[in-house]
Amino acid sequence: MPTDIPSPEGDAAREQASYREHLGAELDAFLSEQQAVLQEVSMESLPLLDAVSALAQGGKRLRALLNYWGWRGAGGAELGLPAVRSGVALELFQSAALIHDDIIDRSDTRRGGPSVHRRFSTAHSDASWHLDGTHFGSSAAILAGDLCLSLSEEMFAAVGAQAAHGTPARRIFNRMRTEVMAGQYLDILEEVVGPTHEPERAVVRARNILRYKSAKYTTEHPLTLGGALAGATTELLDWYSRFALPLGEAFQLRDDVLGVFGDPAQTGKPAGDDLREGKRTVLVAYTLALGGPSAQEAVASGLGREDLDDDGVARLRTLMEDSGALAATETLIEGHTHAAFDALDQMPVDDVTRAALRSLAHAAVTRTA
């Protein structure tokens, strides 16, 4: 539609574009300040911050945007500084999580470039440095992630009194971090415990991991955080959760399906990479629960094998389809999506906020990459 005809959708898009600009400017200014701190230590320490900057300046900004509309829906001022700063804090937290996640998952790429540990191991080999370049890469990435995590919090503290100890927003921020780390631990535990461990409970465990590792912190916590910063009522925060939690679950389930069945040309990841990494998704859990002993055996022997070839990938895919696991996952996605949009329709927010959230939700659950 032409942008000069007023509509909630058009207003939301324009405002969101302005917020993105403010977010980017605040992030850049903050990173420049940090650069000065590192320069005082030594010019040679700058690559640590460069790695953080390169990563943090990319991404879809889903968390920051949800946080912003949570703020706006609760009556926060247009482009208010607290919502800009909490958005930067959330994006930095996400970057920190990705840096460490990529070490844990041994992922070589991220946001279209090398992952941070690969960036440092490549610098090592380019310069023909000594000792183990892979270990140097993950060591430097551990430190880059730590720096990024600290900066996330430093920025959150800069939100001010609304984010101080004991405030609703601070409680959400604290809980988010602890839950994500606990969820990630459950995720790596699930991988090593193996696919044959209590397959009948695999779906329950996988859905719990998905909830804490991904869903809550991708959608629910950002939205409620923004709301809490603007002084949202408990009732409104409940509405936010009723919308955002199923949305986050649908989002991550879609991600899991794309990781196995997605088009590599669109996802940017080689087909079957999630299977080679051994990701224990809800899709895999359904395969274990519905496919019986033969499926459990096939998953146990194929999942997590770095040398899994195209035939192996194809066999696991067929198994996921034939066992009904793919269909069960799609049903789950559909149910969550329905619940999310249903809550959004009834949520007591203004039309511009609702339009913005609808657009973000739509992009989250219908994506192909």
Binding site for a copy of itself (CB under 8 A): 34, 37-38, 41-42, 44-45, 47-48, 96, 100, 103-104, 106, 124, 129-131, 133, 135-136, 138-140, 142-147, 149-151, 153-154, 157-161, 164-166, 170, 174-175, 177-179, 181-186, 188-189, 191-194, 208, 212, 278, 304
Contact predicate 84/26, CB 8 Å? yes
Q: Which is nearer to a copy of itself, 146 or 330 (CB)?
A: 146
Q: Which two tokens stand for residue 130?
A: 């000594």
Q: What DSSP assignment string belongs to 250-278?
A: HHHHHHHHHHHHS-HHHHSS-TTHHHHHT
Number of Cβ within 10 Å of residue 221's Cβ equals 30
- Closest approach of a copy of itself to the CB of residue 12, in Å: 30
Question: CA dist 313 to 50, 71, 283, 316, 318, Å?
Answer: 37, 44, 14, 5, 9
Q: Which is nearer to a copy of itself, 22 or 177 (CB)?
A: 177
Q: For a copy of itself, give the closer residue by CB, 151 or 355.
A: 151
Contact call for residues 326 and 226 (beta carbons, < 8 A): no
- By beta-carbon proximity to a copy of itself, the closer residue of 131 and 265 is 131
| Closest approach of a copy of itself to the CB of residue 107, in Å | 13
For residues 19 and 179, give the distance between their C-alpha atoms in angstroms, rounded to a whole number: 28
CB environment 27-52: b (16+ within 10 A), e (fewer): beebbeebeeebeeeeeeeeebbebb
**In angstroms, what is the minimal distance from the CB of 288 to a copy of itself?**
14
Closest CB to a copy of itself among residues 100, 110: 100
CB of 278 to a copy of itself, least distance (A): 7
Backbone phi, psi, residue 114, to 5°? -70, 150
- Residue 209 CB, shortest distance to a copy of itself, in Å, is 8
